Chains A and B, each alone.
Chain A
Amino acid sequence: MMEKKEEIKFLFKKMMKDFEEISQNDETYRK
Protein backbone atom coordinates (compact mmCIF):
# COMPACT_ATOMS: atom_id res chain seq x y z
CA MET A 1 0.00 0.00 0.00
CA MET A 2 2.84 2.40 0.84
CA GLU A 3 4.32 1.84 -2.58
CA LYS A 4 0.98 2.62 -4.21
CA LYS A 5 0.62 5.78 -2.13
CA GLU A 6 4.07 6.95 -3.18
CA GLU A 7 3.19 6.32 -6.80
CA ILE A 8 -0.09 8.20 -6.41
CA LYS A 9 1.77 11.13 -4.82
CA PHE A 10 4.22 11.23 -7.71
CA LEU A 11 1.54 11.07 -10.41
CA PHE A 12 -0.74 13.48 -8.56
CA LYS A 13 2.03 16.10 -8.28
CA LYS A 14 2.93 15.57 -11.91
CA MET A 15 -0.68 16.03 -13.00
CA MET A 16 -0.97 19.34 -11.14
CA LYS A 17 2.40 20.58 -12.37
CA ASP A 18 1.82 19.52 -15.99
CA PHE A 19 -1.26 21.68 -16.18
CA GLU A 20 0.85 24.81 -15.79
CA GLU A 21 2.47 24.21 -19.15
CA ILE A 22 -0.70 22.96 -20.81
CA SER A 23 -2.70 25.96 -19.65
CA GLN A 24 -0.17 28.34 -21.15
CA ASN A 25 -0.17 26.65 -24.54
CA ASP A 26 -3.79 25.66 -25.01
CA GLU A 27 -6.43 28.14 -26.12
CA THR A 28 -9.12 26.22 -24.25
CA TYR A 29 -7.72 27.22 -20.89
CA ARG A 30 -7.05 30.86 -21.67
CA LYS A 31 -10.68 31.89 -22.19
Chain B
Amino acid sequence: MLEDVHLLIEQKEEILINDLKYLTLDIQWDICDIKGYQKFNKGIYSFKFGVELDDPDITLEIDDADTALKLLSGEIDSFEYRFYKRKAKIYYIEKWEKVKVGEEILKAKNFKLILTIRYTNGVFYHPYTITRLPIFRDIIEKWYDPKTADASYIPINDSLGTFEDKVLPLKVLEYFINKADHFLLCHSCGCRAYNQCQEHDHSIGCLYIGADTVDVKEVFPKIIPERSHFGTKEEAMDRVKKAYDNGLITVIGRLKWDAEAMGVPDRGHFMTVCFCCPCCCIAGKRMFRTIELQNMMQRIEGVSVKVDEDLCVGCKECMEVCVFEGMEMIDGTAKVNQERCLGCGRCERVCPNNAITITLDDPKRLDEFIRRIEANVDVS
Protein backbone atom coordinates (compact mmCIF):
# COMPACT_ATOMS: atom_id res chain seq x y z
CA MET B 1 0.00 0.00 0.00
CA LEU B 2 2.75 2.40 0.95
CA GLU B 3 4.52 1.72 -2.34
CA ASP B 4 1.34 2.59 -4.21
CA VAL B 5 1.10 5.94 -2.50
CA HIS B 6 4.73 6.75 -3.25
CA LEU B 7 4.17 5.92 -6.89
CA LEU B 8 1.16 8.22 -7.03
CA ILE B 9 3.08 11.04 -5.39
CA GLU B 10 5.92 10.65 -7.88
CA GLN B 11 3.43 10.92 -10.71
CA LYS B 12 1.42 13.74 -9.22
CA GLU B 13 2.75 16.53 -11.43
CA GLU B 14 1.70 14.69 -14.58
CA ILE B 15 -1.62 13.76 -13.02
CA LEU B 16 -2.29 17.35 -12.02
CA ILE B 17 -1.52 18.70 -15.47
CA ASN B 18 -4.00 16.29 -16.99
CA ASP B 19 -6.64 16.93 -14.33
CA LEU B 20 -6.52 20.66 -14.81
CA LYS B 21 -6.77 20.42 -18.57
CA TYR B 22 -9.90 18.30 -18.54
CA LEU B 23 -12.25 18.75 -15.63
CA THR B 24 -14.11 15.47 -15.65
CA LEU B 25 -14.98 14.56 -12.14
CA ASP B 26 -17.85 13.12 -10.10
CA ILE B 27 -17.69 14.54 -6.60
CA GLN B 28 -19.60 13.22 -3.64
CA TRP B 29 -19.90 15.70 -0.80
CA ASP B 30 -20.40 14.69 2.81
CA ILE B 31 -20.57 17.76 5.00
CA CYS B 32 -21.37 16.77 8.57
CA ASP B 33 -23.51 13.90 7.17
CA ILE B 34 -25.26 16.23 4.73
CA LYS B 35 -24.88 14.66 1.29
CA GLY B 36 -24.89 15.96 -2.23
CA TYR B 37 -23.06 15.45 -5.47
CA GLN B 38 -21.60 17.48 -8.31
CA LYS B 39 -20.74 15.98 -11.70
CA PHE B 40 -18.40 17.75 -14.12
CA ASN B 41 -17.95 16.36 -17.58
CA LYS B 42 -16.08 18.72 -19.91
CA GLY B 43 -18.55 21.52 -19.61
CA ILE B 44 -21.67 19.53 -18.73
CA TYR B 45 -22.60 20.09 -15.11
CA SER B 46 -25.16 18.38 -12.91
CA PHE B 47 -25.77 18.24 -9.19
CA LYS B 48 -28.22 16.97 -6.64
CA PHE B 49 -28.66 17.71 -2.99
CA GLY B 50 -29.31 14.93 -0.46
CA VAL B 51 -28.21 12.12 -2.78
CA GLU B 52 -25.25 9.76 -2.77
CA LEU B 53 -23.52 8.57 -5.95
CA ASP B 54 -22.83 4.87 -6.38
CA ASP B 55 -19.35 5.37 -7.78
CA PRO B 56 -17.94 8.90 -7.30
CA ASP B 57 -14.38 9.71 -8.34
CA ILE B 58 -13.70 11.47 -5.08
CA THR B 59 -15.56 12.06 -1.85
CA LEU B 60 -15.03 15.34 -0.03
CA GLU B 61 -15.70 14.99 3.68
CA ILE B 62 -16.01 17.78 6.19
CA ASP B 63 -16.63 16.73 9.78
CA ASP B 64 -16.51 20.03 11.61
CA ALA B 65 -19.58 22.29 11.28
CA ASP B 66 -17.71 25.51 12.04
CA THR B 67 -15.08 24.74 9.41
CA ALA B 68 -17.82 23.86 6.92
CA LEU B 69 -19.49 27.22 7.53
CA LYS B 70 -16.17 29.02 7.14
CA LEU B 71 -15.52 27.29 3.83
CA LEU B 72 -19.04 27.76 2.46
CA SER B 73 -19.04 31.40 3.54
CA GLY B 74 -15.73 32.09 1.77
CA GLU B 75 -13.80 32.86 4.96
CA ILE B 76 -10.84 30.55 4.37
CA ASP B 77 -7.79 32.05 2.69
CA SER B 78 -5.09 29.38 2.62
CA PHE B 79 -4.85 25.89 1.13
CA GLU B 80 -2.29 23.24 2.01
CA TYR B 81 -2.46 19.55 1.26
CA ARG B 82 -0.93 16.39 2.64
CA PHE B 83 -1.09 12.89 1.19
CA TYR B 84 -2.11 9.90 3.21
CA LYS B 85 -2.98 6.35 2.27
CA ARG B 86 -5.81 6.50 -0.30
CA LYS B 87 -6.72 10.01 0.74
CA ALA B 88 -5.48 13.58 0.90
CA LYS B 89 -6.27 16.22 3.47
CA ILE B 90 -6.64 19.94 2.88
CA TYR B 91 -5.72 22.37 5.64
CA TYR B 92 -5.73 26.11 6.21
CA ILE B 93 -3.63 28.22 8.53
CA GLU B 94 -5.98 28.92 11.42
CA LYS B 95 -3.52 31.07 13.37
CA TRP B 96 0.09 31.70 14.18
CA GLU B 97 0.93 30.72 17.71
CA LYS B 98 3.86 30.78 20.09
CA VAL B 99 5.34 27.49 21.27
CA LYS B 100 7.96 26.82 23.92
CA VAL B 101 10.82 24.67 22.67
CA GLY B 102 13.39 24.12 25.39
CA GLU B 103 14.18 27.59 26.66
CA GLU B 104 13.08 29.31 23.46
CA ILE B 105 9.72 30.78 22.52
CA LEU B 106 9.17 30.08 18.83
CA LYS B 107 6.41 30.77 16.31
CA ALA B 108 4.47 28.01 14.58
CA LYS B 109 1.65 27.79 12.08
CA ASN B 110 -1.41 26.13 13.49
CA PHE B 111 -3.07 24.21 10.67
CA LYS B 112 -6.69 23.21 10.82
CA LEU B 113 -8.27 20.51 8.68
CA ILE B 114 -10.77 21.73 6.11
CA LEU B 115 -11.66 18.44 4.48
CA THR B 116 -10.57 14.96 3.53
CA ILE B 117 -10.45 13.85 -0.10
CA ARG B 118 -11.14 10.14 -0.42
CA TYR B 119 -10.26 8.46 -3.70
CA THR B 120 -13.31 6.29 -3.71
CA ASN B 121 -12.98 4.59 -7.10
CA GLY B 122 -9.26 3.93 -6.84
CA VAL B 123 -8.17 6.67 -9.28
CA PHE B 124 -5.87 9.33 -7.94
CA TYR B 125 -6.58 13.04 -8.50
CA HIS B 126 -4.15 15.71 -7.42
CA PRO B 127 -5.56 17.76 -4.51
CA TYR B 128 -5.09 20.87 -6.62
CA THR B 129 -7.73 19.53 -9.00
CA ILE B 130 -10.46 20.79 -6.70
CA THR B 131 -9.11 24.32 -6.98
CA ARG B 132 -10.92 24.39 -10.33
CA LEU B 133 -14.17 24.47 -8.37
CA PRO B 134 -15.36 27.97 -7.51
CA ILE B 135 -15.39 27.54 -3.76
CA PHE B 136 -11.73 26.52 -3.72
CA ARG B 137 -10.76 28.76 -6.58
CA ASP B 138 -11.83 31.66 -4.39
CA ILE B 139 -9.36 30.52 -1.74
CA ILE B 140 -6.56 30.30 -4.28
CA GLU B 141 -7.42 33.73 -5.66
CA LYS B 142 -7.18 35.22 -2.18
CA TRP B 143 -3.97 33.43 -1.50
CA TYR B 144 -2.47 34.62 -4.77
CA ASP B 145 -3.84 38.12 -4.59
CA PRO B 146 -1.72 40.29 -6.94
CA LYS B 147 -0.97 42.60 -4.01
CA THR B 148 0.80 39.79 -2.19
CA ALA B 149 1.86 37.66 -5.13
CA ASP B 150 3.60 39.66 -7.83
CA ALA B 151 6.86 38.53 -9.39
CA SER B 152 8.76 38.40 -12.67
CA TYR B 153 11.43 36.35 -14.33
CA ILE B 154 14.56 38.30 -15.20
CA PRO B 155 16.01 36.97 -18.46
CA ILE B 156 19.75 36.33 -18.68
CA ASN B 157 20.03 36.47 -22.44
CA ASP B 158 23.14 38.03 -23.94
CA SER B 159 21.04 39.66 -26.65
CA LEU B 160 19.52 42.03 -24.09
CA GLY B 161 22.93 43.65 -23.75
CA THR B 162 24.26 45.17 -20.57
CA PHE B 163 23.07 47.96 -18.32
CA GLU B 164 25.93 50.10 -17.05
CA ASP B 165 28.15 47.11 -17.84
CA LYS B 166 25.98 44.69 -15.92
CA VAL B 167 23.67 42.00 -17.23
CA LEU B 168 20.01 42.48 -16.44
CA PRO B 169 19.60 40.23 -13.35
CA LEU B 170 22.76 41.55 -11.72
CA LYS B 171 21.71 45.13 -12.36
CA VAL B 172 18.26 44.64 -10.84
CA LEU B 173 19.45 42.59 -7.87
CA GLU B 174 22.27 45.00 -7.18
CA TYR B 175 19.65 47.69 -6.65
CA PHE B 176 17.66 45.68 -4.12
CA ILE B 177 20.68 44.18 -2.34
CA ASN B 178 22.24 47.62 -1.90
CA LYS B 179 19.01 48.87 -0.41
CA ALA B 180 18.55 46.00 2.07
CA ASP B 181 20.25 44.99 5.31
CA HIS B 182 18.88 41.51 5.85
CA PHE B 183 19.57 38.47 3.66
CA LEU B 184 18.56 34.89 4.25
CA LEU B 185 20.27 32.33 2.04
CA CYS B 186 18.84 28.83 1.66
CA HIS B 187 21.38 26.04 1.50
CA SER B 188 19.70 24.20 -1.34
CA CYS B 189 17.00 24.65 -3.96
CA GLY B 190 13.84 22.81 -2.93
CA CYS B 191 12.74 22.30 -6.54
CA ARG B 192 16.07 20.83 -7.66
CA ALA B 193 16.33 18.65 -4.57
CA TYR B 194 12.73 17.43 -4.97
CA ASN B 195 13.28 16.58 -8.63
CA GLN B 196 16.81 15.27 -8.10
CA CYS B 197 18.07 17.70 -10.73
CA GLN B 198 21.03 16.45 -12.73
CA GLU B 199 21.55 19.63 -14.73
CA HIS B 200 22.03 22.41 -12.20
CA ASP B 201 23.69 23.11 -8.88
CA HIS B 202 21.43 22.18 -5.94
CA SER B 203 23.34 24.47 -3.59
CA ILE B 204 22.04 27.61 -5.32
CA GLY B 205 18.99 27.93 -3.11
CA CYS B 206 16.53 30.79 -2.79
CA LEU B 207 17.60 34.14 -1.41
CA TYR B 208 15.17 36.10 0.75
CA ILE B 209 15.66 39.81 1.29
CA GLY B 210 14.10 42.24 3.74
CA ALA B 211 13.56 43.03 7.41
CA ASP B 212 10.99 40.25 7.94
CA THR B 213 13.59 37.59 7.16
CA VAL B 214 14.92 38.21 10.67
CA ASP B 215 11.75 36.63 12.06
CA VAL B 216 12.71 33.30 10.51
CA LYS B 217 15.06 32.68 13.44
CA GLU B 218 11.98 32.37 15.68
CA VAL B 219 10.23 29.81 13.51
CA PHE B 220 9.38 26.30 14.59
CA PRO B 221 10.36 23.81 13.17
CA LYS B 222 13.77 25.50 12.96
CA ILE B 223 15.04 26.47 9.52
CA ILE B 224 18.27 28.05 10.75
CA PRO B 225 21.06 26.87 10.75
CA GLU B 226 20.38 23.52 9.03
CA ARG B 227 18.50 24.82 5.99
CA SER B 228 19.48 28.49 5.72
CA HIS B 229 21.63 31.22 7.22
CA PHE B 230 21.82 35.00 7.37
CA GLY B 231 24.43 36.45 5.03
CA THR B 232 26.05 39.70 3.97
CA LYS B 233 25.38 41.91 0.94
CA GLU B 234 28.47 40.40 -0.68
CA GLU B 235 27.26 36.87 -0.07
CA ALA B 236 23.83 37.72 -1.48
CA MET B 237 25.38 39.23 -4.61
CA ASP B 238 27.67 36.23 -4.99
CA ARG B 239 24.61 33.96 -4.93
CA VAL B 240 23.03 35.98 -7.77
CA LYS B 241 26.26 35.84 -9.82
CA LYS B 242 26.63 32.13 -9.23
CA ALA B 243 23.06 31.54 -10.41
CA TYR B 244 23.71 33.61 -13.52
CA ASP B 245 26.88 31.65 -14.28
CA ASN B 246 24.92 28.43 -13.79
CA GLY B 247 22.35 29.48 -16.40
CA LEU B 248 19.55 29.84 -13.85
CA ILE B 249 16.79 32.39 -14.40
CA THR B 250 16.15 34.72 -11.49
CA VAL B 251 12.62 35.39 -10.24
CA ILE B 252 12.04 38.29 -7.89
CA GLY B 253 8.99 39.68 -6.21
CA ARG B 254 6.63 39.38 -3.29
CA LEU B 255 5.29 35.88 -2.92
CA LYS B 256 3.14 35.56 0.16
CA TRP B 257 3.34 31.79 0.35
CA ASP B 258 7.16 31.88 0.35
CA ALA B 259 7.12 34.05 3.46
CA GLU B 260 4.55 31.74 5.03
CA ALA B 261 6.47 28.64 3.99
CA MET B 262 9.45 30.08 5.85
CA GLY B 263 7.19 30.64 8.86
CA VAL B 264 6.78 34.40 8.57
CA PRO B 265 3.38 36.09 8.18
CA ASP B 266 3.41 38.12 4.98
CA ARG B 267 3.69 41.83 5.77
CA GLY B 268 5.40 43.12 2.63
CA HIS B 269 9.01 43.09 3.89
CA PHE B 270 10.04 39.70 2.56
CA MET B 271 11.29 39.56 -1.03
CA THR B 272 11.71 36.24 -2.77
CA VAL B 273 14.65 35.74 -5.12
CA CYS B 274 14.45 32.30 -6.76
CA PHE B 275 16.94 30.81 -9.19
CA CYS B 276 15.03 28.57 -11.54
CA CYS B 277 15.89 25.85 -14.01
CA PRO B 278 13.36 24.73 -16.62
CA CYS B 279 13.69 21.08 -15.68
CA CYS B 280 12.66 21.36 -12.03
CA CYS B 281 10.79 24.62 -11.39
CA ILE B 282 7.78 23.46 -9.38
CA ALA B 283 6.07 26.81 -9.78
CA GLY B 284 6.36 26.57 -13.54
CA LYS B 285 5.31 22.97 -13.81
CA ARG B 286 2.53 23.02 -11.30
CA MET B 287 1.14 26.46 -10.78
CA PHE B 288 0.84 27.92 -14.21
CA ARG B 289 -1.87 25.53 -15.20
CA THR B 290 -4.45 27.75 -13.61
CA ILE B 291 -5.29 31.24 -14.79
CA GLU B 292 -5.20 32.78 -11.32
CA LEU B 293 -1.70 31.54 -10.71
CA GLN B 294 -0.50 32.68 -14.10
CA ASN B 295 -1.66 36.17 -13.29
CA MET B 296 0.69 36.55 -10.36
CA MET B 297 3.72 36.34 -12.66
CA GLN B 298 4.21 39.20 -15.04
CA ARG B 299 6.58 39.71 -17.90
CA ILE B 300 9.06 42.52 -17.28
CA GLU B 301 7.75 45.74 -18.77
CA GLY B 302 9.02 46.27 -22.33
CA VAL B 303 10.33 42.72 -22.87
CA SER B 304 9.19 41.10 -26.08
CA VAL B 305 9.84 37.68 -27.57
CA LYS B 306 9.52 37.11 -31.31
CA VAL B 307 10.04 34.22 -33.73
CA ASP B 308 11.48 34.73 -37.22
CA GLU B 309 9.30 32.40 -39.27
CA ASP B 310 11.88 32.22 -42.06
CA LEU B 311 14.50 30.85 -39.69
CA CYS B 312 12.28 28.54 -37.61
CA VAL B 313 12.46 24.90 -38.73
CA GLY B 314 9.83 23.67 -36.25
CA CYS B 315 12.24 21.59 -34.15
CA LYS B 316 10.18 22.27 -30.97
CA GLU B 317 13.26 22.82 -28.78
CA CYS B 318 11.69 26.08 -27.60
CA MET B 319 8.44 24.34 -26.68
CA GLU B 320 10.24 21.73 -24.64
CA VAL B 321 12.12 24.26 -22.58
CA CYS B 322 9.10 26.49 -21.91
CA VAL B 323 7.41 25.49 -18.67
CA PHE B 324 4.67 28.06 -19.15
CA GLU B 325 3.32 26.74 -22.45
CA GLY B 326 4.31 30.09 -23.91
CA MET B 327 5.33 28.65 -27.25
CA GLU B 328 3.01 26.94 -29.72
CA MET B 329 3.62 25.14 -32.98
CA ILE B 330 1.32 26.34 -35.76
CA ASP B 331 1.75 24.97 -39.28
CA GLY B 332 5.23 23.73 -38.42
CA THR B 333 6.45 27.08 -37.10
CA ALA B 334 6.89 28.21 -33.51
CA LYS B 335 4.61 31.02 -32.37
CA VAL B 336 4.80 32.91 -29.11
CA ASN B 337 1.60 32.72 -27.07
CA GLN B 338 1.76 36.30 -25.84
CA GLU B 339 -0.72 35.68 -23.04
CA ARG B 340 1.28 32.87 -21.49
CA CYS B 341 4.86 33.89 -22.32
CA LEU B 342 6.61 35.34 -19.26
CA GLY B 343 9.65 36.59 -21.14
CA CYS B 344 12.15 34.40 -19.30
CA GLY B 345 14.18 34.00 -22.49
CA ARG B 346 14.88 30.28 -22.19
CA CYS B 347 13.50 29.66 -25.68
CA GLU B 348 15.97 32.05 -27.28
CA ARG B 349 18.86 30.35 -25.52
CA VAL B 350 18.04 26.89 -26.88
CA CYS B 351 16.96 27.77 -30.43
CA PRO B 352 19.54 26.14 -32.72
CA ASN B 353 18.75 28.49 -35.62
CA ASN B 354 18.67 31.81 -33.80
CA ALA B 355 15.08 32.19 -34.89
CA ILE B 356 13.95 33.67 -31.57
CA THR B 357 14.80 37.11 -30.28
CA ILE B 358 14.12 38.61 -26.87
CA THR B 359 14.42 42.37 -26.54
CA LEU B 360 13.85 45.15 -24.07
CA ASP B 361 12.45 48.16 -25.88
CA ASP B 362 14.01 50.80 -23.63
CA PRO B 363 16.58 50.54 -20.79
CA LYS B 364 14.38 52.92 -18.79
CA ARG B 365 11.89 50.10 -18.50
CA LEU B 366 14.09 48.70 -15.74
CA ASP B 367 13.09 51.60 -13.51
CA GLU B 368 9.45 50.87 -14.28
CA PHE B 369 9.96 47.22 -13.33
CA ILE B 370 11.78 48.07 -10.11
CA ARG B 371 9.01 50.51 -9.16
CA ARG B 372 6.38 47.82 -9.68
CA ILE B 373 8.21 45.35 -7.47
CA GLU B 374 8.88 48.01 -4.84
CA ALA B 375 5.22 48.97 -4.74
CA ASN B 376 4.47 45.56 -3.24
CA VAL B 377 7.58 44.64 -1.29
CA ASP B 378 9.86 46.91 0.71
CA VAL B 379 13.30 45.38 1.33
CA SER B 380 14.74 48.27 3.33
Show the binding face of A for B, using Cβ within 8 Å.
1, 4-5, 7-9, 11-20, 22-23, 28-31
Given contacts A13-B36, A16-B47, A31-B22, 10 further A-B contacts (CB under 8 A): A5-B34, A8-B31, A8-B72, A9-B49, A11-B72, A14-B72, A16-B49, A17-B47, A19-B133, A31-B23
Flag if A15 contacts B72 (CB, 8 Å): yes
Chain A residue contacts of B66, Cβ below 8 A:
4
Flag if B134 contacts A12 (CB, 8 Å): no
Flag if A31 contacts B45 (CB, 8 Å): no
Q: Mark B14-53, 1 if CB is under 8 A from A, else 0.
A: 0000000111000001011010101010110101010000
Number of A-B contacts (CB under 8 A): 61
- Asked if B283 CB lies within 8 Å of chain A CBs, one says no
The answer for the CA separation of A18 and B133 in the assembled complex, in Å, is 11
Interface SS of chain B: helix, strand, loop or mixed? mixed
Interface pairs (29), CB distance under 8 Å: A1-B65, A4-B66, A4-B69, A5-B32, A5-B65, A8-B31, A8-B68, A8-B69, A8-B72, A9-B49, A11-B69, A12-B29, A12-B31, A12-B34, A13-B36, A15-B134, A16-B38, A17-B47, A18-B134, A19-B45, A19-B133, A19-B134, A20-B47, A29-B40, A29-B43, A29-B45, A29-B132, A31-B21, A31-B22
User: Contacts A8-B32, A16-B36 known; A30 to B43 CB distance under 8 Å?
Assistant: yes
Chain B residue contacts of A29, Cβ below 8 A:
23, 40, 43, 45, 132
Q: Mark B44-82, 1 if CB is under 8 A from A, else 0.
A: 010101000000000000000110110011000000000
Number of interface residues of B (CB under 8 A): 26
Flag if B47 contacts A19 (CB, 8 Å): yes
Interface SS of chain A: helix, strand, loop or mixed? helix
Chain B residue contacts of A23, Cβ below 8 A:
43, 45
- Asked if B313 CB lies within 8 Å of chain A CBs, one says no
Shortest CB distance A25–B (Å): 11
- Asked if B193 CB lies within 8 Å of chain A CBs, one says no
Shortest CB distance A4–B (Å): 4
Chain A residue contacts of B49, Cβ below 8 A:
9, 12-13, 16
The answer for the CA separation of A18 and B135 in the assembled complex, in Å, is 10
Chain B residue contacts of A17, Cβ below 8 A:
47
